[in-house]
C-alpha cells in the first residue's frame, strides 16, 4: 500500500475494529491499521493500493457556490477542507460565473453571495483529489475563512490536471452543475 501525499510505501499487517482483527472494514468504521513499517500517517492522508495512482495536486479548478456576504476576488487566501485534510490555499483566478437564470457562463472578476463560479485554486500542501464527476467522495470540498472558521463556499473539483484547465472561457459557454 502507498500513503499519499507522502508517497511512502508499506505493507498492511492487520486491520482492527473495536480491538478485534478483521479481514476488511468500510467507511464509516473507525479502524486501526497495523503497518509493517513505522510510518506516521496523519489526519487527511490517503491510503491506497500500490496499483492505484490518484491525482496528488497543488493546483485545481473547481466550481464553487459562494456563501459569504463579502465578495471573493482572485488573490484571496483561505483554507481548503478536503475530507480530514485542511490546507492553506489561495484563489489564483476567477474564470467564469454562471447566470442562474439562463445557465450561461459569463466573465467576472468576483463572486458575490450565492454566485456559482469556476475558479482556480493553489494549495500550500498537496491534496489527493479527483474530478467530482469521477469520484464524489474525493471530488468535493469546502472553503473556510482562516480567521473566523466560517464556511465560505462549497466546491466541486472540475479538473486536477493543468492540461485540462480552462484556457479561455467563452462568455456563451454553458455547463450544468
Q: Where are the beta strands (DSSP E) in the chain?
A: 2-4, 8-9, 12-17, 20-22, 32-35, 46-48, 55-66, 72-73, 77-82, 85-98, 105-106, 110-111, 116-129, 140-144, 151-159
Question: What does the pLDDT look like over 55-90, one tens digit per residue?
Answer: 899 999 999 999 999 999 999 999 999 988 999 999
CA gap 69, 32 in Å, rounded: 42
pLDDT range class, residue 155, cuts 50, 70, 90: very high
Residue-level pLDDT at 5:
87
CB atoms within 10 A of CB 20: 7
pLDDT of residue 126: 92
Over 80: is that where the pLDDT of 176 sits?
no
Give the three-state DSSP class for 115: coil
For the question of whether the overall pTM of this predicted structure is more than 0.95, the answer is no
Burial class (CB in 10 A: 0-12, 13-18, 19+), 69: exposed
Decide: 94 and 130 in contact? Cβ < 8 Å: no
All three cell numbers of 106, joined, read: 459569463
**pLDDT for 149 beyond 90:** yes
List of domains in the chain:
2-48 (no CATH), 55-164 (2.40.30.10)
User: Percentage of the chain surpassing pLDDT 90?
Assistant: 63
Per-residue model confidence as pLDDT tens digits over 87-100? 999 999 999 999 98
Place 167 in a pLDDT band, splitting at 50, 70 and 90. low
Amino acid at each position: 500500500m502507498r500513503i499519499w501525499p507522502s508517497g511512502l510505501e508499506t505493507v498492511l499487517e492487520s486491520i482492527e475494529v473495536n480491538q478485534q482483527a478483521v479481514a476488511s472494514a468500510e467507511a464509516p468504521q473507525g479502524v486501526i491499521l497495523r503497518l509493517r513499517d513505522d510510518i506516521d500517517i496523519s489526519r487527511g492522508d490517503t491510503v491506497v493500493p500500490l496499483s492505484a495512482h490518484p491525482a496528488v495536486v497543488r493546483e485545481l479548478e473547481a466550481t464553487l457556490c459562494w456563501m459569504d456576504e463579502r465578495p471573493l476576488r482572485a488573490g484571496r487566501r483561505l483554507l481548503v477542507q478536503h475530507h480530514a485534510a485542511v490546507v492553506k490555499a489561495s484563489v489564483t483566478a476567477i474564470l467564469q460565473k454562471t447566470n442562474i437564470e439562463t445557465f450561461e457562463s459569463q466573465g467576472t472578476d468576483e463572486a458575490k453571495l450565492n454566485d456559482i463560479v469556476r475558479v482556480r485554486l493553489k494549495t500550500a500542501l498537496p491534496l489527493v483529489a479527483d474530478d467530482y464527476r469521477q469520484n464524489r467522495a474525493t471530488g468535493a470540498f469546502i472553503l473556510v475563512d482562516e480567521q473566523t472558521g466560517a464556511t465560505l463556499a462549497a466546491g466541486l473539483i472540475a479538473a486536477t490536471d493543468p492540461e485540462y484547465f480552462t484556457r479561455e472561457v467563452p462568455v456563451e459557454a454553458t455547463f450544468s452543475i
